[in-house]
Structure 1
């Protein structure tokens, strides 16, 4: 019997979902594992199992995780037409608050998926107000609040809103991160090392909306797998985490065509030259290079993943 590529992909999604659910029993990261497993159930079209994983994740979440079970479950409910249940859960999150940055990022993503950008922006503002106490806050890229600032800046730009103080704070954080990265990487990397460009899920989704011809028919999981394969083929490679906004600015500054593949290659090479790259591979017990917050050996370094 011939197995189509779509069916093979679905089976792989199921395999990863089942592995994550099994790992959740002993990993000490039950909430994170189950939320991630739910993503794979979603891609496999197994929405009952997706909901089951998210319901348990919401129950076991103790507000000390990287991902947020209650917000992820509310997002599922909202995007599956169960608005009343979703809004009841979002209202509880609003009342009680959360120490998890991704609670607010996830709520914003939920409303973007149902085409309510103003409500999505409201949730980003709520999160930023919780994690960024002032415009003089001493935070670095990667600290709690920085992803909220990034998402907020991107959404405000999409909505045509002029930059405000928080957008300017995001720009300062981004520039400071570039400077620090350049200082570190200039010591331990060489310009000739290959740079593999990887798009985080939010940027990849934006690219698929704005430039569907760049990665036709490709899901983010396959994009991540292709990046891992390329990295394994080049042991001296580094990972450049792409930002669609930054690529657009790069192309404009160089006067080159945004849609050319060579522009993306130049963008990655320039980012690596400036020290804005992640050395590869991470240690097996270190956080994975893709930003999932899972250990490399359980994420992109898992046997059979690439």
Structure 2
């Protein structure tokens, strides 16, 4: 259901395979990769991915087999596969087996020392149970995840502050939603998270309407949304070249990536027929301005460059949004739903 942060933070053979592929893999490709890399640390990761893609094709029995294979490994990815087992058992309406699998997973997690490594499992279980309408159990997992964050912080466990805050924010939003669905009064933290989300949503919708007004022609015809994204290696130089765009680009690459995600969503909500994220380099941009004679300092030139790039180099763009279980557009190597597609980023 998601890739482990530890695996995504560094280049691994499987993440390299996904990046080189340049698109979402098929179930068969993931299964083949696993078969070609037996007894490796990432074999269960590939098997788990194959399980999710197989499930999406509606082959739930086959997906269940793949998840069981991945869960047999003594690996961090085994718990991800066990989330998949719970999901497929619920899809197949095998409630007693699903309940047993869920309890076993929770017991195992509760027996672990406080730490942040399993937050993704708590988060995934909330999602799975919500999708199957099991709001009370989803709320229990959500609260357990928030408790795990508090316990881990109290023990001083090493962690990525931004990533943990992302999980906390997402779980608070989920908890507020679930409490509301179950008729449980919201506490101050729930209300604060809800207020922040509403404010962000209002600002986002205003941006979307501005995009629509500026892009639709006089006939109101459909349009494609083109989001120009500078290659990560060029980001420092981009900020130096256009300092007036600091507010747009943000203080660091993480903030810039979040901005790109919001911009893509803005085009989508504004009614774009398709949304594409175009990855460009300054070298290619400079070559374009030299050929065309356009002013490289003019913001309109970046727009015309995007349109030219879209028409001539479709291989360097990605359709947005990716599949929820597909690789994220930002090249992190993580799944979209656990990277730029998380509730906290949307």
Q: Normalising to structure 1: TM-score of the pair?
A: 0.50
Please give the secondary structure, in 2, of the residue aligned with 1:281: strand
The one of the two structures with greater contact order (alpha-carbon pairs below 8 A, sep at least 6) is 2
- Whether contact under 8 Å (1:150, 1:170) holds in the other structure is yes
- Whether contact under 8 Å (2:276, 2:320) holds in the other structure is no
Paired residue for 1:50, among 53, 60, 63? 63
Match of 2:134 in 1: 116
Question: Could you list the per-position Cα deviations for residues 2-22 of structure 1 after superposition, in whole angstroms to 9, with x for gaps in the alignment?
Answer: xxxxxxxxxxxxx93212323
- Give the greater-gyration-radius structure (CA): 2
State the Cα distance separating 1:193 from its structure 2 match.
4.4
Counterpart-to-counterpart distance in 2, 1:115 and 1:44:
21
State the Cα distance separating 1:269 from its structure 2 match.
3.1
Please give the secondary structure, in 2, of the residue aligned with 1:160: coil
Match of 2:105 in 1: 89
Match of 1:276 in 2: none
Counterpart-to-counterpart distance in 1, 2:131 and 2:164:
26
Unaligned runs of 5+ in 1: 1-14, 195-230, 243-264, 273-278, 301-306
Residues 190, 32 of structure 1: alpha-carbon distance in 2 compared, 3 angstrom cutoff? farther
Residues 108, 178 of structure 1: alpha-carbon distance in 2 compared, 3 angstrom cutoff? closer
Match of 1:18 in 2: 28
State the Cα distance separating 1:49 from its structure 2 match.
1.8
- Aligned-residue CA RMSD (Å): 5.0
- Whether contact under 8 Å (1:193, 1:236) holds in the other structure is no
Counterpart-to-counterpart distance in 2, 1:288 and 1:30:
28
State the Cα distance separating 1:121 from its structure 2 match.
0.6
Most deviating of 279-288 and 74-83: 279-288
Residues 91, 161 of structure 1: alpha-carbon distance in 2 compared, 3 angstrom cutoff? same
Counterpart-to-counterpart distance in 2, 1:127 and 1:20:
30
Counterpart-to-counterpart distance in 2, 1:43 and 1:53:
13
State the Cα distance separating 1:177 from its structure 2 match.
5.5
Matches within 5 A, 1:1-306: 16-24=26-34, 30-60=43-73, 62-63=75-76, 68-77=80-89, 80-81=94-95, 82=97, 83-96=99-112, 99-112=117-130, 115-131=133-149, 143-171=166-194, 173-174=196-197, 192-193=214-215, 234-236=224-226, 238-240=263-265, 268-269=269-270, 280-281=276-277, 283=279, 289-290=321-322, 292=325, 294-296=327-329
Please give the secondary structure, in 2, of the residue aligned with 1:131: helix
State the Cα distance separating 1:38 from its structure 2 match.
1.9
Most deviating of 140-149 and 156-165: 140-149
Please give the secondary structure, in 1, of the residue aligned with 2:167: coil
State the Cα distance separating 1:235 from its structure 2 match.
4.9
- Whether contact under 8 Å (2:64, 2:88) holds in the other structure is yes
- Whether contact under 8 Å (2:204, 2:266) holds in the other structure is no
Counterpart-to-counterpart distance in 2, 1:113 and 1:289:
20
State the Cα distance separating 1:150 from its structure 2 match.
2.2
Please give the secondary structure, in 2, of the residue aligned with 1:163: coil
State the Cα distance separating 1:141 from its structure 2 match.
10
Question: Could you list the per-position Cα deviations for residues 240-297 of structure 1 after superposition, in whole angstroms to 9, with x for gaps in the alignment?
Answer: 289xxxxxxxxxxxxxxxxxxxxxx8xx239x9xxxxxx8415469997445461449
Residues 285, 90 of structure 1: alpha-carbon distance in 2 compared, 3 angstrom cutoff? farther
Counterpart-to-counterpart distance in 1, 2:28 and 2:191:
43
Residues 144, 181 of structure 1: alpha-carbon distance in 2 compared, 3 angstrom cutoff? same
Question: Could you list the per-position Cα deviations for residues 13-33 of structure 1 after superposition, in whole angstroms to 9, with x for gaps in the alignment?
Answer: xx9321232345579865554
Please give the secondary structure, in 2, of the residue aligned with 1:236: strand
- Whether contact under 8 Å (2:119, 2:145) holds in the other structure is yes
Please give the secondary structure, in 2, of the residue aligned with 1:118: helix
Counterpart-to-counterpart distance in 1, 2:171 and 2:53:
24
